[in-house]
Structure 1
Amino acid sequence: MTDAALRNLLLDCLKLWDVEGKVFVRDADVAIETPVGTFSVAQAHPDLHPVRWFYQTPEREAARRSPRAAPSIVALLSALRNAMGGTGGDRLRVGGM
């Protein structure tokens, strides 16, 4: 995934999660600035398989802890949504009577 594609995906997610924020591509990662602080996302090196992504939260950074690993984009987005306190978005349900 390119940095531009990741930036656009994260912007869409912020809207869906009802989180106010801005997304910026930096040299080594993508930054997400929110009212609770700045989060960062970076792709893992291919040699680190099965880890695909690393993300940092303001709390972990303040505690001088290393970024957390995520094995997939789904795991990454779920972790970010939870850390940002985002909503789950509307869910479409299909069912019979």
Structure 2
Amino acid sequence: MTDAQLRGLLLDCLKLWEIGGTVSAGVGGLVVETPNGRFTVRRADPGLRPARWFYQTPWRAAAGRPDRAAPSIVALLSALRNAMEGTGGDRLRVGRL
């Protein structure tokens, strides 16, 4: 996934989660600015596998704590949605009624 694709995905997620915000390129990653603060997302170096992504929340940054690791894009997006207090969006259920 390129940074441009990740930026587009994060912008789509902000809309789905009903959070106003912007996504821009920052030093070494992407910066997500929301009313709840500034969140950062960056790729993990290949040698750090299984971690694929690192993210930082405004509260962790203010406390001087390191970035959190996420093993997948799904884990990253879930963690960001929870930290940003976004809505879950409509859930699709597949199966018999």
TM-score (norm 2): 0.95
Equivalent residue of 2:83, what SS?
A: helix
Query: How big is each residue's C-alpha offset from its partner over 1:30-76, in whole Å with a ceiling of 9 and x where there is no partner?
Result: 00000010000000000001000000000000001000000000000
* TM superposition shift of 1:96: 3.7
Aligned to 2:78: 78
What is the aligned partner in structure 2 of residue 8 from structure 1?
8
Pairs aligned (count): 97
Deviation (angstroms), 1:95: 4.4
The separation in 1 between residues aligned to 2:26 and 2:59, in whole angstroms, is 20
Q: Deviations over 1:65-96 (max 9, x none)?
A: 00000000000000000000001101123444
RMSD: 1.0
The DSSP-based 3-state class of the residue aligned with 2:41 is strand
Provide the rounded CA distance (Å) in 1 between the counterparts of 2:48 and 2:64.
Answer: 22
Could you list the structure 1 runs, at least 4 aligned residues long, displaced by more than 3 angstroms after superposition: 94-97
The SS at the match of 2:66 is: coil
What fraction of aligned residue pairs are identical, expressed as a percent? 67
TM-superposed CA distance for 1:25, in Å, is: 1.2
Q: SS in structure 2 opposite 1:51? A: coil
The 2-side partners of 1:23 and 1:54 are apart by 16
